[in-house]
Amino acid sequence: MKTRVTEMLGIETPIICGGMMRVGTAELAAAASNAGALGVMTALSQPTPELLRAEIEKCRSLTDKPFGVNLTVGVVATPVDYDEYISVILDCGVKIIETAGRSPEPFMERFKAAGVKVIHKCVAVRHALKAERIGVDIVSIDGFECAGHPGEQDVGGLVLFPATTQALKIPVVASGGIADGRGLAAALALGCEGINMGTRFLVTEEAPIHEGIKQKVVEMDENQTRLIFRSYKNTARVYRNGIADSVADIEAAGGEFGEVHHLVSGQNQEKAWSTGDIEAGMVTVGMSGGLINDIPSCDQLVKNIMADAEAIIRQRLTSMLD
């Protein structure tokens, strides 16, 4: 299956394993890339630029396929020397960068000089248009269903995807609410040229989280996420557990972020991911968890998605025209 995204990134399938904090390791990125998708490591999962260098080198030792590095700007509590992280990424010869959070405009000159393809994650058409103007190569547009930060507009993918593709000239990747071949076929029908999945790749054999968390996602339905941080204008979609409910209650009572910080701390998140205790901390997961019923390898996942999408396009949709 060829699209502008596969041609531009040099990948076999129009599938991206999006950058996920803590989860975007060399092993997962390499497994996704070896499967024919684009694996994406997460720069800030590494506490220092030099540890990122080692992680990039590890990824390169595990795959000879293209892979990317995610750099999320301006949404972490601790100060980050982005210039140092970028220097490491470029020094290591990485040619695909996924940016998220704030605009990558301050870094675009360096990216372009190094011949890097930039994928920028957006949550609104106006943000996507700005990204196109500053020179990004691909926009990954996040629908309301996505894990993490869906923005404040609450526009689902069925509207947001075609609204974005009709507004932009550069390729658009659909993100949020997609977990299988049906999602890929739908995204292509809506004008997108690929898909970005986080939650689906979270529930694979190679994802570096406890099997207990993976199993909880397999068991969940589409109603088992909750929006938090809405009153702080930093809305996040997470698994609906006791932590999420407590945060929502504090927000409803007018509580400031300082009153919930201890609940959503990185330490608690790490405990959940590593022990499998879904109640231990905030667990980022999208509504697409309701579509996930197994824990495949990345290779099997990509093969299944491509086979199902092809069957939908070639057989089911074509048969309706006979």
Residue boundaries of the structural domains of the chain: 4-209+293-319, 221-284
Cα Rg of the chain, angstroms? 19
Q: Is the pLDDT of residue 210 over 70?
A: yes
Average pLDDT over residues 230-244: 96
pLDDT in tens, 265-283: 999 999 999 999 999 999 9
In the predicted model, is pLDDT for residue 76 greater than 80?
no
Q: For a pLDDT cut of 70, what percent of the chain falls above it?
A: 99
pLDDT greater than 90 at residue 75: no
Task: Measure Cα distances from 17 to 78, 197, 243, 283, 304 in Å.
Answer: 26, 5, 27, 18, 15
Does the pLDDT value for residue 44 go beyond 80? yes
Residue 90 has pLDDT above 80, yes or no: yes
Distance from C-alpha of 97 to C-alpha of 119, rounded to nearest angstrom: 6
pLDDT at 208 over 70: yes
For the chain, counts of helices (H) and of strands (E):
14, 10
Least confidently predicted of 1-15, 62-76, 132-146: 62-76
pLDDT, one tens digit per residue, over 150-204 is: 999 999 999 999 999 999 999 999 999 999 999 999 999 999 999 999 999 999 9
Neighbours of 65 (CB within 10 A): 18
pLDDT at position 276 is: 97
Average pLDDT, the chain: 96
Q: What is the pLDDT of residue 19?
A: 93
Query: Sign of torsion, CA 28 34 36 41?
Result: positive
> Residue 38: which of 4, 14, 2 has the closest Cα?
14
pLDDT of 79 reads 85
Confidence of residue 16 (pLDDT cuts 50, 70, 90): very high
**241: its two tokens:** 């557990």
pTM of the model: 0.96
Looking at domain 4-209+293-319, its CATH architecture is Alpha-Beta Barrel (3.20)
pLDDT at 29 > cutoff 90: yes
Residue (of 143, 292, 153, 286) closest to 226 by Cα position: 286
Provide the pLDDT for residue 77: 65
| End-to-end Cα spacing for the chain | 24
64, two tokens? 């000879």
Phi, psi of 69 (to 5 degrees): -125, 130
Residues linked to residue 238 through DSSP beta bridges, in sequence order = 226, 284
